[in-house]
Every structure is written in C-alpha cells, then in structure tokens.
C-alpha cells in the first residue's frame, strides 16, 4: 500500500516515514504543496497524510483541488491545529479523518486502516475472500493451513491483492505498493514474497496469469476447510 506523506517538518517527516515503513506502507514524503501535486500526478496512492500549515500554502487548498478533480483517495489531515472550526472545515472539504499532533503512531495506523476499509466498502476490519483472511491490525493471515504473522512486506503485498480480489496486479504495481520513493527495489522481491506467502498459506491461493500478474480469487462462498 502506497502512502503520500505531506509534512514540512523534517524531523516529523523522517520519523513518521520510518514508522509507516515499519507498518508495511510504501511512503512517499514531500514537504510542500508543489511537490505534493507532482507526487499525486506521478503515482497512485492508497492514502494521503496531509499537514495543513505548509511553507507554500495551506493543505486545505490541495484537498479542495483533489476533491474537485474527482480524486477520492483517502486523506487524513495531521495537524497541530486542534480547534473545532479547523476540524470541521477540514472534514467538510473532504478529509476522511483528522488527527491532531502530537499523536500516537498506533492511533494513526488504526485510523488509516479505518479509512482504507471505508474506501473499499468494507464494514469488517478483516480482509477476506472466503479462503484467505488478513487482519490489517495484527498482520495476521489465516488460511486452511493455519494462521501466520506476516512480515511487513508480505503483509503489504497480500493486503494489496486482498483489497481487490479478482483484480490482476502487475509486478510494477505490486512493487510500488511495497516501495516508496528513494527506496531501492530488489529485483526478485515480488517473486520472493509470493513464494513465501504460497508456502505459508497454500500454493493455490495466490494465482498467476502469465505475463499479466497475480491475483487472489473473488469472494467465493467456498469453504475454507476444502
């Protein structure tokens, strides 16, 4: 899952990027609105963390433009402005949530998971296609073969697949959900992760279409025990 972090404070930017990477997000971090616009054009993000007081303007401007252009990417405002009018304005402009600094990273993660669920139209926190389930909070995956705690990257890849069961993801798409900008992409990482996941959960659960990419089956009423 790829996330755009818009934060002008270097220290917070670095620390938050680290924390998000630890939680298996691919993070692109920018420090001003101009760079944020470029980043949003260059790549598809699954979520945006938006600081409001930026050097070249207010984060709300970007939010407004984003929603006007029809981009529905989940946006969480992360700011030191804690008064109610600011919150109301941010939410009315189309933010999905509002977090006040200083915040605990666990809370931010929980809110991120919540907006991701809403984005995907899920009421339940667990991603599930009937044969394979994944708990985004605990990084725990379950299949007929048992349950496993996944590594950060295994989780990121499986989460991407399970959020759109039936959709085929290319190698590039999967890589971009694992790596942020500036991170070196290891050439066989996708193959390596898929191999590891299949080994743990069952070979037939992640399918491959030669030349196209990988997918998990759409929610079938199939039995897990099969």
Partner 1 sequence: MRKSGRSVQTRLLAALTLTVLGVGLLATVAAFWFAYSEAQEFQDDNLRQVALLGKLADRSALVGSEEDTDARIRVLPEAGRTLPVWVPKHLTEGFHTLTMADGDKGRVYVRHSRPGGQMVLIVQSTQSRNEAALENAWWTLVPWLLFLPVLLWLIVHIVRRELAAVRTLSHRIDQQSADCLEELPVEQVPDEILPLVEAVNRMMVRVNHVVLHQKRFIADASHELRTPLTALSLQVENVERAGSLPLMQQRVAMLKIGIERLRRLTTQLLDLARLQLQGLEPERILVSDLVREVIASVLPLAESRQIELELQLDADPVERIDVATFRLVVHNLLENAIKYNRQAGQVRVRIAMEGDDLVVDVADEGSGIPADQRESAFRPFFRLAGQETEGSGLGLAIVREAADRLGGTVVILDNSPASGITVRYRQSPDRESSG
Which range binds partner 1 by CB under 8 A, 41-49, 100-108, 129-137, 201-209?
100-108
The 10 Å Cβ neighbour count of residue 146 is 10
Q: b/e string for 129-143 if b means 16 or more Cβ within 10 A?
A: bebbbbbbeebebbb
Q: Please select the residue that binds partner 1; options are 102, 121, 182, 211, rule is CB under 8 A.
A: 102
Task: Kindly tell me which residue out of 73, 93, 105, 126 binds partner 1, with binding defined by CB under 8 A.
Answer: 105
Query: Which CB sits closer to partner 1, 16 or 157?
Result: 16
Q: How far is the CB of 106 from partner 1 (least distance, A)?
A: 8
- 14 forms part of the interface with partner 1 (CB under 8 A): yes
Stretch binding partner 1 (CB under 8 A), from 8-16, 90-98, 125-133, 172-180:
8-16
Question: What span, in angstroms and rounded, lies between the C-alpha atoms of 45 and 200?
Answer: 28
Q: How far is CA 171 from CA 91, 190, 200, 210, in A?
A: 35, 7, 21, 11
Q: Does 124 bind partner 1 (CB under 8 A)?
A: no
- Return d(Cα 166, Cα 87) in angstroms, integer: 37
Nearest to 192 by CA among 181, 183, 200: 200
Q: Which of 41, 70, 104, 223 binds partner 1 (CB under 8 A)?
A: 104
Q: CB 59 → partner 1: shortest distance, Å?
A: 15
Binding mask 34-73 for partner 1 (x = CB under 8 A): ---------------------xx-----------------
> Closest CB to partner 1 among 3 and 162?
3
Strands 133-135 and 140-143: antiparallel
- The helix (H) or strand (E) run that includes residue 65 is helix 59-68
- We find the least distance from the C-beta atom of residue 140 to partner 1, in angstroms, to be 17
Q: What is the smallest separation between the CB atom of 8 and partner 1, expressed in angstroms? A: 9
Distance CA 26, CA 179 (A): 5
| Closest distance to partner 1 from the beta carbon of 100 (Å) | 8
Determine contact, residues 97/77, Cβ cutoff 8 Å: yes
Give 106 or 204: the residue with its C-beta nearer to partner 1: 106
Shortest Å, Cβ 22 to partner 1:
5
Asked whether the beta carbons of 3 and 48 are under 8 A apart, the reply is yes
Q: What does the binding site for partner 1 look like in residue numbers (CB under 8 A)?
A: 9-12, 14-16, 18-19, 22, 32, 55-56, 80-81, 101-106
């Amino acid at each position: 899952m790829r996330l755009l972090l818009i934060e002008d404070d270097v220290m917070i930017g670095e620390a938050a990027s680290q924390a998000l990477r630890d939680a298996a997000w691919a993070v692109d971090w920018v420090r001003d609105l101009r760079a944020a616009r470029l980043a949003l054009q260059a790549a598809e993000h699954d979520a945006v963390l938006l600081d409001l007081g930026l050097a070249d303007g207010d984060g709300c401007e970007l939010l407004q433009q984003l929603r006007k252009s029809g981009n529905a990417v989940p946006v969480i405002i992360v700011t030191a402005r804690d008064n109610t009018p600011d919150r109301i304005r941010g939410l009315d402009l189309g933010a999905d949530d509002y977090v006040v600094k200083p915040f605990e990273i666990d809370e931010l993660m929980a809110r991120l998971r919540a907006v991701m669920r809403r984005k995907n139209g899920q009421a339940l926190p667990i991603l599930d296609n009937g044969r394979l389930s994944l708990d985004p909070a605990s990084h725990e995956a379950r299949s007929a073969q048992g349950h496993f705690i996944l590594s950060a990257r295994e989780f990121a890849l499986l989460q991407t697949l399970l959020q759109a069961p039936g959709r085929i993801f290319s190698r590039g798409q999967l890589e971009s959900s694992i790596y942020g900008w500036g991170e070196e992409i290891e050439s066989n990482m996708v193959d390596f992760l898929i191999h590891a996941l299949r080994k743990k959960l069952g070979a037939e659960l992640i399918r491959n279409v030669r030349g196209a990419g990988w997918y998990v089956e759409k929610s079938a009423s199939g039995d897990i025990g099969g």
